[in-house]
Chain A
Amino acid sequence: SQQGEEDPQALSIQEGENATMNCSYKTSINNLQWYRQNSGRGLVHLILIRSNEREKHSGRLRVTLDTSKKSSSLLITASRAADTASYFCATGYSGNTPLVFGKGTRLSVIA
């Protein structure tokens, strides 16, 4: 079952603008992760935020987590054409319990 739900489904922006994607989930989690997928390729792990964290940064990426609202956001600042990809959130649980992935947001950055 898919728990994470990304919003919007698709996003098109100009190069240099910021891109914000949101993820909502339904049950308690141990962590929330964001992944990136270029067309026809495997997913690449971007960032993991634990349930006791509220914000995390990695380069041009900023992730927030609001466990009271069961939501997370991924912000990509100063976007580049190379950021064009699909972005997925995944909810994580304890141990090696499988992640549950959402359907993704398709980001297009126009040069």
Chain B
Amino acid sequence: DGGITQSPKYLFRKEGQNVTLSCEQNLNHDAMYWYRQDPGQGLRLIYYSQIVNDFQKGDIAEGYSVSREKKESFPLTVTSAQKNPTAFYLCASTERGEQYFGPGTRLTVT
């Protein structure tokens, strides 16, 4: 899992609550990414940031928000507007085109 940490590993929330997933890296990488993975599926890009204080929407940004105030940190907020938030969330950073992934956070919303 390299120098990327995600916390917590498991997260449970009630429907209607916002929740923030943490992603921290000590690899000094400029670019960071958030993906969502559903059972038996590939990765779908939620948001990405190529530099501090800048980020772009990915393919499925609706219902999510991010911030990039520090190079090391790229937190993801799953808002109550996300219709189906239960999923496995993966954070990654990039160097020379290769992505380094964190261990993931499994979010369950009931």
A→B interface (CB under 8 Å): 1-2, 4, 30-31, 33, 35, 40-45, 48, 88, 90, 92, 96, 98-104, 106
Contacts and interface: CB of A to CB of B under 8 A. Distances in A.
4 nearest A-B pairs in the assembled complex, by CB-CB distance = A42-B101, A103-B42, A96-B31, A101-B43
Interface string B14-28: 000000000000000
Contacts of A43: 43, 90, 92, 99, 101
B45 interface: yes
Contacts of A35: 99
Interface of B: 1, 4, 6, 30-31, 33, 35, 40-45, 48, 50, 58-59, 88, 90, 92, 94, 97-104, 106
A31 B101 contact: no
B90 to A, nearest CB: 6
Contacts of A92: 97
Contact of B104 (A40, A48, A106): A40
Contacts of B35: 101
A2 B98 contact: no
A89 to B, nearest CB: 9
8 contacts: A35-B99, A42-B1, A42-B92, A42-B102, A45-B98, A98-B45, A101-B42, A106-B40
B106 A45 contact: no
